Structure 1
Amino acid sequence: MEKLEKFKKLGLSDNALKALRKKGFEEPTPIQQKTIPILLRDERDIVGQAQTGTGKTAAFGLPIIERIKEKSKIIQVIILVPTRELAIQISEEINSLKGNKRLHIIPVYGGQAIELQLRSLKKGVDVVVGTPGRVLDHIRRKTMNLQDISYLVLDEADEMLNMGFIDEVEKIMKSTNPEKRTMLFSATMPKEILRIAKKYMGKYEFVAVEKETLTVNLTDQIYFEVATSDKFDALCRIIDIEHEFYGLVFCRTKVDVDKIAKHLVDRGYDADALHGDISQYQRELILNKFKKKRTNILVATDVAARGIDIVELSHVINYSLPQDPESYVHRIGRTGRAGKEGTAITFVTPEEYRRLLFIKRIAKTEIRKEKLPRIKDIINTKKARIKTELKNIIKSETYNEYIKMAQELLKEHESENVLAALLKHSYQDELNEKSYSEIKDFSIDKKGTTRLFVALGKSDDII
């Protein structure tokens, strides 16, 4: 536990330290150092100014886990967030931090079948991470009771303000236990946020950490417009068009990480998965393999990739668009190191286009649009790679045991036919254009809507 000594000094239990060790944490971030002792040792509310990517979730999540009861059958904590992606991300993070403590944590957001949420709520939930609209919907339906909560967390309060959720937030706050403890976290502190703090919070401690400068260096940044259903095929094209691909692929959830890594392995790629459910021992083995290039693709969540430092990465792929500009910069900052230019590639669906614009604006960076590699170009790249490999074998003269067989074949057949047959035998599957699926071509306009391009003509009774 030596590496976790600083966490231990904050007052965390052995259960919390074990959970942190499993996740690969070594020492607390500034916001964690400032927030955790306050939440563990006294009853003050907290207003924290910190951007995403600074460890806010663990800063409030760890002390909350320490202080709430197991098997209470009532909602003890409500965490409000601006987006469903963040609701999923934070609920997963808190689940991974709870260790052996028996707590039921669920995300609640619009777009998910409400029946699933109702079933979970009826069984009894300790922590709800939700978007304001869906939480308020449950309150109105009387399917969510916040009268007995011990903690209310407003995360990314300025984003909730920007997205027009502040009225819903206030209505929810009025529906909660007045004796609760409140934590408000925001990257910026506009007047409206401070008004809410003053109106609804008791004596609070203001905690701030220095804002990072968002800079992007030595990285070529590209985005591709891709439908969700085509993302995996797009990923395969990007890997195959490169002569040497050595990269990190970021997904939003552990389920996605496992699924994508498995699909890659099934397709013959050297890939591994890394997320919060993987033990520290396995994590070290996986990272050691990746650093030694025994695997060339690592599929990971943001949390699991924390602290990874690999110098020669050629690519970072945002399979899922990051939640915020800070996460984007942290992700792509892993490529283009040591004076080399790496490539950062982001897949963008129509629903995510506005978030891409937000990331570009806040990170002050240019991310240019490109078209996915064509199947024909990928096959040509593979042919060039095969030629290079064969030339290297010829130069190495490590083929003596095959000379006799070659001479026998050449006595019976033309040399071009022998070589063509060998190439077919060795590379037929790899050079088969049909191994790639067609990807729908569409363009997202500046309003974030989608224009599909469909091949139709006279025989379709359209013209």
Structure 2
Amino acid sequence: MTTYQESDLRDELKRAVADLGFITPTPVQAEAIPLILADGSRDLVALARTGTGKTAGFGLPVVNDIDTDLDAVQALILCPTRELCLQIARDISGYAKYRKDVKVTAVYGGAPITHQIREIRSGSQIIVGTPGRTLDLINRKKLKLENLKRVVLDEADEMLNMGFQEELNSILGATPDDKQTLLFSATMPKEAKKISRDYMTDPAEISVGHEDAGESKTDHQYFKVKGSSRFALLRLLIELDPDMYAVIFCRTRREVNGVAEDLRFAGHAADALHGDMSQAQRDDVMKRFRKRRIQLLVATDVAARGLDVQDLTHVINYNLPDAPEVYVHRSGRTGRAGKEGIAMSIITGRETRNIRAIEKYSNITFTQQPVPNQEEVYKLRALRFAEKIKAATLDSKVAAYLPEVIESFAGIEREELIQKILGYGLGELSKQLQGQGDVKEDNAKEKRLDKGDTDYTTLCVAVGRKQGYTVPQIIGMMNRRLPGKKINFGKIDIQNNITYIGVDSKAARKVVAAFEGAEDKGVRLDVKVFEGGTNVDGPSRSYGGGGKKKQYKPGNFKPRPSFSAKKKHRKG
């Protein structure tokens, strides 16, 4: 399939994609569409990173095969967030432009369920939904699936990361056995593989834009500075590129709010996006961001899941994510549709190993960039300011007073006048940059652990905040299972359905063995060595370890103030 016109899609679909300006399918579309249409029953697992056109890859066949004589749900598309749900529903409706009897309904949390029920009853054949609301409608017997022909799991890894494993199992268990199941994901974690094994039959497999993530038009850069200089560097990077249209990723809600507020104070069009905001607030922020009233969106991973904004020039990692696959998701939001983009990461020297882990995982190549200084910013801004003055035109009303204005400058030499104009135009910038201090580079090489230091391995435990666990409870559970054992622990990171614990590498296997078959609060703990790249095992808040740190042992293990949980789960 080299063009849409050569495909087996209906003529109505070919007309619709032509109206949208689509001529040549993307690689994932070229592989997926023929496979899905071939006989309508072969399951498919497609690894495709963000921005590769996968919505059309499954959306066009879904619309193509709808029986318009049947007013019943025939296709169910599941996705992680309300934002993505609405986006997919809009795209599907666009593909169905000339199939007038095809009806699409989006179902998601945070909106009145009664309206969605009315839409379904009116004869919707395609449902696009988040897992929480979809399961609610199924349990209420308002969403009936006996005529379902096709299920699509879009961004399956993101849904699983958000804690929707149980909901997905329940939804898939309620669907007919003879349906076609399509799983699209940027990465393939073990939970997604389990879904493939349990709910799919001999699926075809394609991989596009996953291993070859480094071949996109995104330039991956990193800057190495002291942790205290993160914001100062961020300011300089933004000042060097005033046309920047970017998403800036931070770890926590508090950090998101702080960075956004500081950027606004510095005169930038910035705002925050995080999971603690109401849906109305989030919708308002996204509306303004899409219209570019906001140029810099500071967000957590949870809030930005499913974020689909065209023409982003930059993605900036104020903090690196907890796992390489999350970096692939983040960076995939720029450099889309053949356009160039830049993914910048601000790291400390200790986090160099994290960059290497991402390179190994995704075939991405990073380049270390020199840290800019204030003099570079002053020079560029001064030259841009001069160009704007040269390009300015005089309003006729102001021109009437030109002789008087010229007279007011009498006695000032040309060079002095230029200096005064420049000082007036850039004086505020100078004050702000001087007030924030210099950016301090971190030239320390990745440290090797000395004999006196502890090397940590990350363990994962299959419980988290959703089961009501806190750091003290995790500590107590470890102490109960390891009486008398002198084992050093590192950081504890409690997420929604999983907890990461840094453990002395020498004792990691012993700890796993001690917890074999263990349960707590009636829940199987399933303690394992984590192989996925997230680390809480070092003294920094990144997934790199190393360096000296205070030791904590069972029995006298008290949580440090720096232990904090990332709020990762938001029901759809």
Letter in structure 2 aligned against 1:55: G
Relative to structure 1, is the Cα distance of residues 221 and 24 closer, same or farther in structure 2, using a 3 angstrom cutoff?
Answer: farther
Q: Does 1:153 align with 2:156?
A: no
TM-score (norm 1): 0.56
Number of corresponding residues: 358
Q: Deviations over 1:141-191 (max 9, x none)?
A: 223222222221223444444544333222212322344332233455667
Once residues 413 and 114 of structure 1 are traced to their aligned partners in structure 2, the CA distance between those partners, rounded to angstroms, is 74
Q: Residue by residue, what CA displacement relative to the aligned partner does 1:15-64 show, whole Å, maximum 9, x if unpaired?
A: 22232233332322343333323433423232223223443322221111
**1:298-337 to 2 correspondences below 5 Å:** 316-318=313-315, 325-326=328-329, 328-329=331-332, 331-332=334-335
| Residue 184 (structure 2) pairs with residue 185 (structure 1) | yes
Q: Matched residues in 2 for 1:220 and 1:72: separation?
A: 52
Normalized per residue, the structure richer in helix is: 1
Q: Does the residue aligned with 1:107 lie in a helix, a strand or coil?
A: strand
> 1:23 corresponds to which residue?
20
Q: 1:169 maps to what in 2?
A: 168
Q: Give the aligned partner of residue 56 of structure 1.
A: 54
The one-letter code of the counterpart of 2:54 is: K
Q: Which residue pairs with 1:455 in the alignment?
A: none
Of 96, 99, 102, 2:97 maps to: 99
Report the TM-score when normalising by structure 2. 0.47
Describe how 1:262-281 pairs up with structure 2 within 5 A: 262=291, 264=293
1:129 aligns with 2:132: no
Do the aligned residues in 2 keep the contact of 1:247 with 1:317 (CA within 8 Å)?
yes
Q: What is the one-letter code of the residue matched to 1:143?
A: K
Query: How far apart in 2 are the matches of 1:192 and 1:378?
Result: 47
Give me the whole-angstrom Cα distance separating, in 1, the residues matched to 2:60 and 2:339: 34
Tell me: CA distance 1:17–1:431, structure 2 relative to 1, closer, same or farther (3 Å).
Answer: farther
Q: CA, structure 1 residues 124+429, in 2 after alignment: closer, same or farther (shift >3 Å)?
A: farther
1:365-406, CA deviations, whole angstroms, 9 ceiling, x for partnerless residues? Answer: 8899xxxx99xx99998667445766x79xxxxxxx99x948
Match of residue 452 from structure 2: none
In the other structure, the counterpart of 1:40 is 37
Report deviation, 1:70: 3.8
Distance 1:44 1:154 in 2: 15
Give the structure 1 partner of residue 353 of structure 2: none
State the alpha-carbon separation in 2 of the partners of residues 205 and 13 from structure 1.
Answer: 25
Preserved CA contact (<8 Å) 1:46 1:183: yes
CA RMSD, 1 decimal: 5.8
Whole-angstrom distance in 2 between the partners of 1:330 and 1:80: 20
Residues 270-329 of structure 1 deviation map (CA, whole Å, 9 limit, x = unaligned): xxxxxxxxxxxxxxxxxxxxxxxxxxxxxxx96865xxxxxxxxx823499998725624
Give the corresponding residue for 1:75: 73
- Counterparts of 1:413-428 in structure 2 under 5 Å? none
Change (3 A) 1:24 1:245: farther
Residue 241 of structure 1 aligns with an amino acid whose one-letter code is E
User: What does residue 353 of structure 1 align with?
Assistant: none
Structure 1 letter corresponding to 2:97: G
Deviations 1:309-352 (A, max 9, x none): xxxxxx82349999872562462589997xxxx854699xxxxx
CA distance in 1, matches of 2:403, 2:329: 59
Partner Cα distance (2:334, 2:114) in 1: 36
**Partner of 2:19: helix, strand, or coil?**
helix
Deviations 1:206-234 (A, max 9, x none): 13235433339754458xxxxxxxxxxxx
Identity of aligned residues (%): 28
- Contact kept in structure 1, 2:308 and 2:333, CA below 8 Å: no
